[in-house]
Amino acid sequence: MTVPRALPAPHASSLDLGGRTALVTGAAGGIGRACALRLAAAGAKVRAVDRDATGLESLAEAARDLGGTVEPHVLDLTDLDAAELAAAGTDVLVNNAGIQLVRPIEEFPPDVFHTVLTVMLEAPFRLIRGALPHMYGQGWGRIVNVSSVHGLRASAYKSAYVAAKHGLEGLSKTTALEGAPHGVTSNCVNPGYVRTPLVEKQIADQARAHSLPEERVLSEVLLQDSAVKRLIEPEEVAEAVAYLCGPRASFVTGTSLVLDGGWTAH
């Protein structure tokens, strides 16, 4: 019996997403912006989803300068029905949007906990639910969930974020198991601290929570467990996302691609 090859010819590993539609959430800045530009540069038509209309327009302009196509979609992911509808007809889904608040559990506002879980876990579920019928119908799809080292490890004072990322890991694996017979892969990308506005905004909260001056937070809190003592750049995360969408990653599913500078090696 001859087993058909699932891989392209040797060395044909460039990412070509021409004719594909990709949806990226949290696309107006940080990791989401880098992912949207990377996928657009690979030829995908990118649906960029965010609440920040100004940031989305800037993204679309940057994509045009690269010769790519980005369609801005202003959307609050707490509108779960709208999120599911937005994902219909997509070939590539990148669940990236995230929010953060650093507080001890006894001081953590329940409404914020609920919002974090809605945006970072329930919305990805609804987006996946909206995307799968099209992916299944064509026998191909890529789902990449931007998790975090906090999907694998916990840190104090981040109960909502850690809970959401751990849940996202489980959702991603379940999606991988269900999607495999249909040619759909689902994976997580797990960066450490990334040079984004989300991380920059944490510094004051971390300083207060740990009773440290802000200038010591980066080295003594954020990067304490990282062997590589720097922040990872959004573009580095985007390259990992792109790899998981490419021809050489068809057998990679249900796993987590860790970009944590050695944090979890301890």
Residues labelled catalytic: 161
Report the alpha-carbon angle 104-105-107, nearest 5. 70
Is the Cβ–Cβ distance between 179 and 253 less than 8 Å? yes
Beta strands at 45-50 and 69-74: parallel, antiparallel or unpaired: parallel
What strand order describes the sheet that includes 45-50? 69-74, 45-50, 21-25, 92-95, 141-146, 184-191, 256-259
Our separate counts of H helices and E strands in the chain read 9, 7
Calculate helix-pair angle for 123-138, 159-179, nearest 10 degrees.
Answer: 20
CA pair distance 159, 155, nearest whole angstrom: 8
Tokens of 17: 């997403």
Which residues neighbour 215 within 8 Å (Cβ) at sequence distance 6 or greater? Answer: none
Provide the β-strand partners of residue 104. none
Helices (H), the chain: 30-41, 53-65, 80-86, 110-117, 123-138, 159-179, 197-210, 214-217, 234-245
Token pair 């100004």: residue:
54
